[in-house]
């Protein structure tokens, strides 16, 4: 019986929305086994939330070492389950942590690794969008168990509840995995706005804001959008680095991307050019961003955005 193993991402007792996405991709390949690595006593609560998705079996491994030692301990556990269950593939969601877990498991199990896939076929051909979306690549793993990290929000699916069997497993954590101690963890403060990489609409500001993101933010809020920034804006300290869109920042692919006061250097384009619709607002009529915009407004963002915001709010309340 062929199965596919998915690693469930969770924080503070809640599963990430990527868990359902991985299950949906996994189902294309085989029966889904979900691996939950949790603090002692907290696995059942997490497993319960997974019943919302089509999963055949849930494996729970509990250990205090996961929070105490982080990625190396998690990788030890994943590799040992990989060895004992021999799945057809291992799916992990793309994030700094997910990719590093995948990296260590790939070395431990001598398995090929494909990162940040945006699609995955039933015969394990992964689709990646590389060089800032300028190329689409299909590839597959030819050695070991395919380990594939999948970009969040890469799949639209309808959740089908299921009644998975639950099995507790014990895992050995090696001494090498305990070399690092995590002394304190401060979870990121989630603002009221959606996550950049998960948002349907992204509004970004650049050099043209001159450091004042207030109009960009309030326009974004009228649309329920996430706020992004160009490298020029984050380098200048105008907006947090975690909001940077572009080659060395986040890659976003929303329904709508609004670039405000951003010239559109390749650096930035690499992070947003696969957006479905692009609108640009810039004072400079020669700005390269206009070359890829579906609508370009040559004007001052401090005049254009408040007017657009008022029109959107008026429509909402009409």
Partner 1 sequence: MKIAVCVKQVPDSWAEKKLVNGLLDRAGVDAVLNDLDEYAIEEALRIVEPLNEGSETPTHTITLISMGPDRATEAIRKGLSMGAHDATLISDSALAGSDALATSKVLAETIKSGGYDLVFCGTESTDARMSVIPAMLAERLGWAQLTFAGVVKVDVSGNKVEIDRMTDAGVESMSANFPAVLSVIEKINEPRYPSFKGIMASKKKTINTKSLSDVGVAASEVGLATAWSVVDDAAARPPREKGEKVEDAGNGGDKLAEFIFEKRIV
Q: Which of 40, 188, 192, 317 binds partner 1 (CB under 8 A)?
A: 188
- 120 is an interface residue for partner 1 by CB under 8 A: no
Q: How far is the CB of 35 from partner 1 (least distance, A)?
A: 18
Residue 20 CB-density burial (10 A; 0-12 exposed, 13-18 middle, 19+ buried) = buried
Per CB under 8 A, the segment of 31-39, 84-92, 206-214, 294-302 that binds partner 1 is: 294-302
Window 208 to 237, contacts with partner 1 (CB under 8 A)? 223-224
Window 163 to 182, contacts with partner 1 (CB under 8 A)? 176, 179-182
Residue window 90-119: x/- pattern of binding to partner 1, with contact defined by CB under 8 A = -----xxx-xxxxxx-xxx-xxxxxxx---
Nearer to partner 1, 110 or 158 (CB): 110
Do the Cβ atoms of 38 and 46 come closer than 8 Å? yes
Q: Which of 85, 162, 247, 288 binds partner 1 (CB under 8 A)?
A: 247
Return the HEC string of 21-81.
HHHHHHHHHCEEEEEEEECCCCHHHHHHHHHHCCCCEEEEEECCHHHHHCHHHHHHHHHHH
The owner of tokens 């408040």 is 306
- 131 is an interface residue for partner 1 by CB under 8 A: yes
Do the Cβ atoms of 281 and 260 come closer than 8 Å? yes
- 84 is an interface residue for partner 1 by CB under 8 A: no
Nearer to partner 1, 1 or 96 (CB): 96
Residue window 138-157: x/- pattern of binding to partner 1, with contact defined by CB under 8 A = xxxxxxx-------------
Window 39 to 58, contacts with partner 1 (CB under 8 A)? none
How distant is the alpha carbon of residue 204 from its chain centre? 18
- 64 is an interface residue for partner 1 by CB under 8 A: no
- 137 is an interface residue for partner 1 by CB under 8 A: yes
CA distance 147 to 215: 43
Sign of CA dihedral 218, 223, 226, 227: negative
């Amino acid at each position: 019986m062929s199965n596919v193993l998915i690693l469930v991402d969770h924080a503070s007792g809640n599963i990430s929305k990527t868990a359902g996405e991985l299950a949906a991709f996994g189902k294309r390949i085989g029966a889904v086994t979900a691996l939950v690595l949790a603090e002692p006593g907290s696995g059942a609560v997490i497993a319960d939330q997974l019943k919302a998705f089509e999963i055949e079996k849930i494996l729970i491994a509990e250990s205090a070492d996961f929070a105490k030692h982080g990625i190396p301990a998690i990788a030890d556990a994943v590799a040992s389950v990989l060895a004992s269950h021999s799945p057809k593939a291992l799916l992990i969601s793309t994030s700094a942590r997910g990719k590093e877990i995948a990296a260590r498991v790939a070395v431990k199990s001598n398995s090929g690794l494909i990162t940040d896939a945006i699609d995955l076929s039933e015969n394990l051909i992964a689709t990646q969008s590389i060089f800032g979306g300028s190329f689409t690549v299909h590839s597959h793993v030819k050695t070991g168990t395919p380990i594939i990290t999948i970009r969040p929000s890469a799949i639209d699916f309808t959740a089908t509840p299921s009644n998975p069997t639950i099995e507790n497993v014990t895992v050995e954590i090696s001494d090498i995995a305990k070399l690092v101690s995590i002394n304190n963890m401060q979870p990121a403060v989630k603002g009221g706005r959606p996550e950049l990489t998960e948002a349907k609409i992204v509004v970004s500001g650049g050099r043209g804001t001159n450091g004042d993101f207030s109009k960009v933010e309030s326009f974004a809020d009228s649309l329920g959008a996430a706020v992004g920034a160009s490298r020029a804006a984050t380098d200048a300290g105008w907006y947090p680095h975690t909001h940077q869109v572009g080659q060395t920042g986040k890659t976003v692919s929303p329904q709508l991307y609004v670039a405000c006061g951003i010239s559109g250097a390749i650096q930035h384009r690499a992070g947003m050019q696969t957006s479905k619709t692009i609108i640009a607002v810039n004072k400079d009529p020669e700005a390269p961003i206009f070359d890829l915009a579906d609508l370009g407004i040559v004007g001052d963002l401090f005049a254009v955005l408040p007017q657009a915001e008022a029109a959107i709010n008026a429509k909402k309340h009409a």
